[in-house]
Amino acid sequence: MVDVRIEGDRAVFRVEGSDKLWALRSQLEIPLAHISGVDIDPVQARGWWHGLRVLGTNVPGLLAAGTFLSREGLVFWDVHHPENTIIVSLMHEHYKKLIIEVSDPAATVALFRSATPGTDAPPSP
């Protein structure tokens, strides 16, 4: 799971617990200006193919954590429970997307909406 916070003009994504080991990363910091969208999308997270694993762990149906190369480019994953997944679309960053599990997807999307009024963050389903 990932803890998401807004600190000034940056979004801080802290990978929690043993996921740091599986993802081979403990934190990502992204300027808010580089976030082009935030969506709740458990369907995309349920798929078994996440791309070519570059760094991290992939146990289909159980865990995806780390860096994967997809058709879109590099994507960071940290998902155990797809129903709690958000997708953060990025521009001008190493990663094209962050597909991450959070404790409360609707609250996290609302956090981004309030911090970045231009972000394409539709209401939760």
pLDDT in tens, the chain (125 residues): 999 999 999 999 999 988 888 888 899 999 999 999 999 988 888 876 778 788 888 887 778 899 999 999 999 999 999 999 999 999 999 999 999 999 999 999 999 988 875 555 444 44
Q: Residue 63 falls within a domain, yes or no?
A: yes
Give pLDDT, residue 124.
42
Q: How many domains does the chain have?
A: 1
Q: Residue 122 falls within a domain, yes or no?
A: no
Q: Residue 125 falls within a domain, yes or no?
A: no
Q: Residue 124 falls within a domain, yes or no?
A: no
Q: Which residues touch 99 (CB under 8 Å, ≥6 apart)?
A: 44, 45, 50, 64, 75, 76, 77, 78, 79, 85, 86, 87, 88
- Predicted structure pTM score: 0.86
Cβ contact 85:40 at 8 Å: yes
Q: Which domain range does residue 34 map to?
A: 2-115
Q: Residue 120 falls within a domain, yes or no?
A: no
Q: Residue 36 falls within a domain, yes or no?
A: yes
Q: Residue 22 falls within a domain, yes or no?
A: yes
Q: Residue 64 falls within a domain, yes or no?
A: yes
Give pLDDT, residue 122.
45
